[in-house]
Amino acid sequence: MSLLSKLFSGQTDKSKSPPRKANHTARTELPIENSGITIAELINLSSCKATQMSYNLNHPPSLNTEVLSRLRHHVNTIPPMPETWNQIQRVLQRPDASAHDLGVIIATDPILTAKILQTCNSAAYATSTSANINNIPLAVARLGLDETSNIIFHTLAPQLGNSSPDKKLQSHHIWMHSQAMSMLMRSLAEPCSQVSHNDASLIGLLHDIGKLVILHIEKEPVLDEMQASIEAGLSALEAEYQHLGYTHIDAGMMLALRWKLPNQVQHFIAHHHHASHLPLDEIPDYLQHSMMMLNLAHMILQHCLADETEAVHKGIWQHDQSVFVEKAELYIKNELELPLDSAALFAQLESQVARIKLSFPDIYPANREA
């Protein structure tokens, strides 16, 4: 059963089943100049960056009563996810789900319909020679079920952290990160029999959802101070706890409760920093493959965004670095079934990140269509 099924059925069965792959149409890769690097070289380059963190992931500090009460109060003001999202997830649970099935539900929501068509026909998903699509099932077929699900979530989720122009840009950084991570996770899951396509996509999309809660709650001067601490070298979790009294893990887990997501989702949120700070044997067995893959995706995205001269706005969390605290090459090769020395794979992943940038011209104006 996929994580999407577990997410909306409340089940936490850890048994493995063959992953259902989404239907994708071929798209021409963007003509970008790739770095020629490989996964093995990336891990080697990052190995010297590992640092000690005072925040204890296995035994995180308890939240002050006042901080906990304030966090709970603000999270409880966030609207629940609409029923349309639940209906769509019930469709995606079915192994025979089709673009037509999804299109029937999307067509009942005019805002969602407009967003799907707009995205489908954008430079991020269509080539210069592609004909415009005005039919929802065809749009879903071009995007693929997983990518369509991510766009739907982004469209239907309550808008958090948009109370000022700067916060709106910060929220766009988080959405860009989430969408890029979701796309990278889908690609990394392709050869791996241990993590399904849908699981990988959803983990990439939701693991940092607590950061949107922080933007929703906190005032800009506090966020500026926290960003300065991260840029000075403090880890995100340490900086958050120091300045806010809680972390984006705490906020994400509380939002999962607010949206009535089962414990399984909280487990992914709670453990998404483990592979960067703790050895493999301290990650629960049933999370090891997905969390190691997620950490690798983080490192790949960091590499792709390392030269941010084209960005006109800095993200609060962009200087927080993911690494592997112990040698991970054999695990990645044998367990995740990824080719360590494939420059072609890495070039494909870099191209995917470049495509995602096209959807965020307010952050990356250099990527706007001419």
Confidence (pLDDT) at 309:
56
Task: Based on DSSP, count helices (H) and strands (E) in the chain, helices before strands.
Answer: 19, 0
Each residue's pLDDT, cut to its tens digit, for the chain (370 residues) gives 333 333 333 333 333 334 434 333 334 344 445 678 999 999 988 775 656 788 999 999 999 999 999 999 999 998 887 888 778 877 876 778 788 888 888 888 888 899 899 888 887 777 777 788 888 888 888 888 777 877 888 788 777 767 788 998 999 999 899 989 988 998 999 999 898 877 788 889 889 999 999 999 999 999 999 999 999 999 999 999 999 999 999 999 999 888 766 566 788 899 999 999 999 999 999 999 999 999 999 999 999 988 765 566 789 998 998 999 889 999 999 999 999 999 999 999 999 999 888 888 888 886 554 4
How long, in residues, is the chain? Answer: 370
Cβ contact 176:363 at 8 Å = yes
Confidence (pLDDT) at 234:
94
* Residue 210, C-beta contacts closer than 8 angstroms, at least 6 positions apart: 247, 248, 249, 250, 251, 252, 253, 254, 255, 269
Confidence (pLDDT) at 7:
35
Scanning 207-322, the segments in alpha helix (DSSP H) are 209-217, 220-231, 236-244, 248-258, 263-271, 274-277, 288-304
Confidence (pLDDT) at 310:
57
* Residue 35, C-beta contacts closer than 8 angstroms, at least 6 positions apart: 303, 346, 350
Confidence (pLDDT) at 87:
81
Determine the Cα–Cα distance for residues 274 and 53; give it in Å rounded to an integer: 11
* Residue 237, C-beta contacts closer than 8 angstroms, at least 6 positions apart: 53, 55, 57, 247, 248, 249, 273
- pTM for this model (two decimals): 0.80
Q: Which of 106, 177, 207, 185 is nearest to 148 (CA)?
A: 106
CATH classification (class only), 31-80+161-367: mainly alpha
C-beta neighbour count of 59 within 10 angstroms: 7
Confidence (pLDDT) at 245:
97
Confidence (pLDDT) at 141:
85
Question: What are the extents of the domains in the chain?
Answer: 31-80+161-367, 82-156
